[in-house]
Amino acid sequence: MDKGKIIVLEGLDGCGKSTQLDLLYRSVSAVREARLISFPNYDSSTGKVVSDYLAGKIPCEGAAGAYAASGFYAGDRYASYAADWKRDYDAGKVIISGRYTTSNAIYQMTKLPKDEWDGYLAWLWDYEYNRLGLPNPDLVLFLDMPVEVSQKLLSGRYNGDESKKDIHESNVAFLNACRESALYTAQRCGWRIIPCSDGEDPLPIEEISLKIKRETEGI
């Protein structure tokens, strides 16, 4: 039996990824057996380390921090794959994943000088896909929403309580850097970019969903 496929939906905090992930899952599962997963898994023991990192309890700055934090997320993915969804992937299901190895490229690579980005990406793909044996995704979609737009949506999500944002969500400069690293990696690695705004306004949910559906046809 052929192994399954993996479609990854990426996007910065506040871009509407959760909504689009659910719509994508419904669309794919209507024609093929599918499984919806997302990372990090905060309910797991490995996810607890990620939670502590995002809460600022584990400082991860600079080059060492980029690789250390990448390891936290990679460990969470490996545990999830080995103990849970590997059987579905091996059975031929389409895995719809909210974030994946690709998130490390977006969020952790920014801690490195740009002349080290290619080296980091080579290390990351080798570490997770070769050494840990995680499946390489068949399609990566990046929901591209300007940070100033996503910040408005995040503030609405938290009813204006800025203290509810984690260390990534509250750092606008960092998020702008993440958008730059995401677009860089998308161009270098063949991700599909899904524009999600019209100027300062987010596009309608249905319009974004249709763009995603078109990109996933044939998977």
CATH number at residue 44: 3.40.50.300
Are 142 and 219 within 8 A, CB to CB? no
Domain total in the chain: 1
Q: How are beta strands 34-38 and 94-98 bridged, if at all?
A: parallel
pLDDT at 68 over 70: yes
User: Would residue 122 be called left, alpha or beta, if left means φ above 0 and alpha means ψ between -120 and 50 degrees?
Assistant: alpha
Average pLDDT, rounded, for the chain: 92
Q: For residue range 26-44, what is the model confidence (pLDDT) as tens digits?
A: 999 999 999 999 999 998 9
Residue 112 — φ and ψ, nearest 5°? -110, 155
Residue type, 197: S
Could you tell me the pTM of the whole model?
0.91
Which residue carries 């929901």 as its tokens?
143
Token couple for 140 = 């990566």
Q: Cα 171 to chain center, whole Å? A: 17
- Domain span at residue 17 reads 5-216
Q: For residue range 181-193, what is the model confidence (pLDDT) as tens digits?
A: 999 999 999 999 9
d(CA 136, CA 130) in angstroms, rounded, equals 9
